[in-house]
Chains A and B, each alone.
Chain A
């Protein structure tokens, strides 16, 4: 099927269902034990991160290994906005997006001179550079190892201008015109932004711009020989994608107002690659699915420890238990990345198109099953299909 054949109506339906599913997460995730604000916020935020990443990887095929830099810059910009201007989240989000976009313009300009593995390595190098700078030279801005935090003595010019009297004791909290942006309100704020981002992503996928990016992925030569200057298009895709990452970074600061350099580390860049590939590169919904799944399992697996395992396997005889628990222990707690690695390998080997491809296959299988039932006598060929 081509993108053009799908009527616009379908996209609107998709957006509607998507919005409903996201906004109702606190209810339907209850049975999975995932319906608490901290985790829901992460689903939404990393969903945004992955959507943006997919605009680059899914459409143009360029694999960036440095998107954590934009996430980090988004967080720092947001926290500075809280410190200097106001605890209102809107300027924080705006600055997060703008600064990440500016950094993406620079890194993109330099990295897009190369393609393939060289591009990936360049982005990785720039992100590691940003990380190291945040740790050392830029300490006045980033507060180095401790991380950037709010302080009671922060100027907060705008807030001071409009509020009289003594500030309340303790640290102020982030807010949107009086509504505190933690807990469920924080989630709903992130969720609404996620829905907007999803809409933007649909529109980009269905635009001539999106088609041209796909053309660059499919056959960059052909695009050039038909008269397309690919550089500005790649540069734009890279900046958009960086802005999404900056947005996600600023939302991390909105829900928890601190920023540390570790947010820029290469593991964070790798994580978004995993999310996107796990869910399905180049699909609309896949990256969000991948992001939610990884955050969900991270939450479960990393909370396990040996005591929990011993309880879970207490039905086993002692001698077996002594072997099983340490073995399983490798895969949970701080070792949960090992589980993630295995999961990732399984998906890449058996479902290169990610979970979305998996669902498509199941869907097709069910449909063909129905068709088969409709036949009187299935022939050998059809049955083995």
Chain B
């Protein structure tokens, strides 16, 4: 068993009267892929929002590798090594795919501020090479001069994955990375994520597609109505009667 790298302690969050998360505890081991599943509106995306500093929890705390993330700014959390692929792709619509992937590398490198207005982009060969390499990995190299906005939904997700990979994150949070993809592309993405896994990055993945979950996850947590109702190996969780019930109850 590896060390715990991500710890969520008693996270609660409500929007007005609606309780989106109540007392959520989650422990993710270093180097593993941890899937979070659950019906629509269960609070899965909200949980990731709390992790990356987009939302402040009402109570509880998030620890990553011994550091507390709660209360930190999003850019600080990103600098610590947490990256995220969003449910609705967050890319640079008007820029080329190459720029889309290069830009995060600059942002990460010069995040807290470096006056690099006197440097030329055309001289940033190293980052460009790496960006091209990553575009090849995510299968978008041929289109690298196209605009981000012109991609299909599935391709935008792959692009966003590329934008996260160039950051070399230690923790990668993926919010339904294969939604909107055709079967073939989904399988490709699974292969890609497996490849990353062998590089020892910790991943938290939210998925509806059970095929994806069972091909990738080492551990699965089930979230329903803001609470973790089951936790464990994929096979255990699959057989859990509470989970079956939650899924039926939640999607009614």
Please tell me if the beta carbons of B119 and A222 are within 8 angstroms of each other in the complex.
no
Please tell me if the beta carbons of B108 and A232 are within 8 angstroms of each other in the complex.
no
Total chain B interface residues with beta-carbon distance under 8 A? 42
Please tell me if the beta carbons of B118 and A218 are within 8 angstroms of each other in the complex.
no
Interface of A, helix, strand, loop or mixed by DSSP: helix
Interface of chain A residues 1 through 59 with chain B (CB within 8 A)? 1-5, 7-8
Q: Which of A209, A214, A229 contacts B117 (CB 8 A)?
A: A209
Question: What residues of A have a CB within 8 angstroms of the CB of B164 in the complex?
Answer: 226
Q: How far, in whole Å, are A215 and B100 apart by their CA atoms in the complex?
A: 9
B37 lies within 8 A of chain A by Cβ: no
Q: Digitize B80-112: 1 where CB-to-A-CB distance is under 8 Å, 0 elsewhere.
A: 000110000011111110110011101110111
Please tell me if the beta carbons of B92 and A212 are within 8 angstroms of each other in the complex.
no
Interface of chain B residues 203 through 223 with chain A (CB within 8 A)? none
Q: How far, in whole Å, are A203 and B120 apart by their CA atoms in the complex?
A: 7
Residues of chain A touching chain B, judged by Cβ–Cβ distance below 8 Å, are 1-5, 7-8, 203-204, 206-212, 214-215, 218-219, 221-230, 232-233, 236, 240
Q: Which of A7, A208, A233 has the most CB of B within 10 A?
A: A208
Q: Digitize B48-59: 1 where CB-to-A-CB distance is under 8 Å, 0 elsewhere.
A: 000010100000
Q: How far is the CB of B102 from chain A (nearest CB, A)?
A: 8
Question: What residues of A have a CB within 8 angstroms of the CB of B163 in the complex?
Answer: 222, 226
Q: Digitize B107-150: 1 where CB-to-A-CB distance is under 8 Å, 0 elsewhere.
A: 11011110111111110100010000000000000000100000
B78 lies within 8 A of chain A by Cβ: yes
Please tell me if the beta carbons of A215 and B118 are within 8 angstroms of each other in the complex.
no
In the complex where A207-B118, A208-B121, A225-B83 touch, is A218 in contact with B112 (Cβ < 8 A)?
no
Please tell me if the beta carbons of B92 and A219 are within 8 angstroms of each other in the complex.
yes
Please tell me if the beta carbons of B106 and A212 are within 8 angstroms of each other in the complex.
yes
Please tell me if the beta carbons of B122 and A226 are within 8 angstroms of each other in the complex.
no
B187 lies within 8 A of chain A by Cβ: no
Q: How far, in whole Å, are A221 and B84 apart by their CA atoms in the complex?
A: 12
Question: What residues of A have a CB within 8 angstroms of the CB of B194 in the complex?
Answer: none
Q: How far, in whole Å, are A5 and B144 apart by their CA atoms in the complex?
A: 11
Q: How far is the CB of B207 from chain A (nearest CB, A)?
A: 20
* 5 CB-based A-B contacts, threshold 8 Å: A207-B120, A212-B106, A215-B95, A225-B75, A225-B78
